[in-house]
Amino acid sequence: MNRPLQNRNNLLANHRGFTLLEVVVAVSILTVGLLAIAKLQEAAIRGNNYADTYAIATTVASDRVEKLLALEMESPLLQDTDGDGSAGLADTGTDADHALTEEISGTSFDVYWNIAPDSPNPGNKTIELIVLWNDRGRTRRLELTQVK
């Protein structure tokens, strides 16, 4: 009768559990890994948000360029209002030839366009369209250039 009890004691002696130190190290490694995944997820969400806003800005710019291209050459919206021609194509704010603001999905897009008459050839007009918006404290910029 002693033998089965002795075998059982030997089995229990050979199976030791995790020490507290091993558990603490394992939990620490797991915590560091989970924090890294959380940071990665945060960066992915930020990147997706930026891509979505950039796509909206591209749509706003494309839509405005298409509307401008559909106008007659003599339209007031296709005039170089400050007379700076090609030198003023990158102007924004009060220096721009034309401006408007569009609010889409909670984001304000400032749309500016400048006209350079007889550029690149006589009878043509170069339209430089610039869209500005604020993304977490930074001003983002999208530019489209079209010749009419």
Q: What is the pLDDT of residues 93-118, one digit of tens each?
A: 999 999 999 999 899 999 999 999 99
| Sheet strands side by side (includes 107-117) | 98-104, 107-117, 125-135, 138-147
Q: Please report, rounded to a whole number, the percentage of residues in the chain having pLDDT higher than 70.
A: 89
Query: What's the pLDDT score for residue 18?
Result: 79
User: Of 125 and 1, which is predicted with more confidence?
Assistant: 125
Distance from C-alpha of 102 to C-alpha of 91, rounded to nearest angstrom: 18
Threshold 0.85, pTM exceeds: no
Judged against a pLDDT cut of 60, whether residue 1 lies above it is answered with no
Q: What band does 57 get if pLDDT is binned at 50, 70 and 90?
A: very high
CB contact at 8 A, 79 and 95: no
Judged against a pLDDT cut of 60, whether residue 55 lies above it is answered with yes
Which tens digit of pLDDT belongs to each residue from 118-146?
999 999 999 999 999 999 899 999 999 99
Q: What is the enclosing helix (H) or strand (E) of 110?
A: strand 107-117
Residue 131 — φ and ψ, nearest 5°?
Answer: -115, 125
Judged against a pLDDT cut of 90, whether residue 13 lies above it is answered with no
